[in-house]
Amino acid sequence: MFMLSARRMLHQSYCAVFFLSLGMVACSVNQPSLTRKDNALIGQVRPGMPAIDPTNAIYELPVNANVSYKDVVESLKSVSEGMNFVNPANFPIGEHLKLRGVDPQGIKEVRSFCNLSMGTEIILDHPEFLVFAPCRVALYEKLDQDNKLRLYIALDRPTFDLKNIKHPTERAKKSAQELETKLLEIMDRARKGDF
pLDDT single digits (tens) 34-59: 333 445 689 999 999 999 999 999 99
pLDDT in tens, 84-139: 999 999 999 999 999 999 999 999 999 999 998 888 999 999 999 999 999 999 99
> pLDDT > 70: what percent of the chain?
79
Residue 138 carries which side chain, given as an amino acid letter?
A: A
Element (H, E) at 1: none
Point out the least confidently predicted range of 4-13, 18-27, 34-43, 140-149. 18-27
- Integer Cα distance of 27 and 14 in angstroms: 20
Going by the DSSP 8-state scheme, the letter that residue 195 receives in this structure is -
Q: What pLDDT score was predicted for residue 40?
A: 61
3-state secondary structure of 4: helix
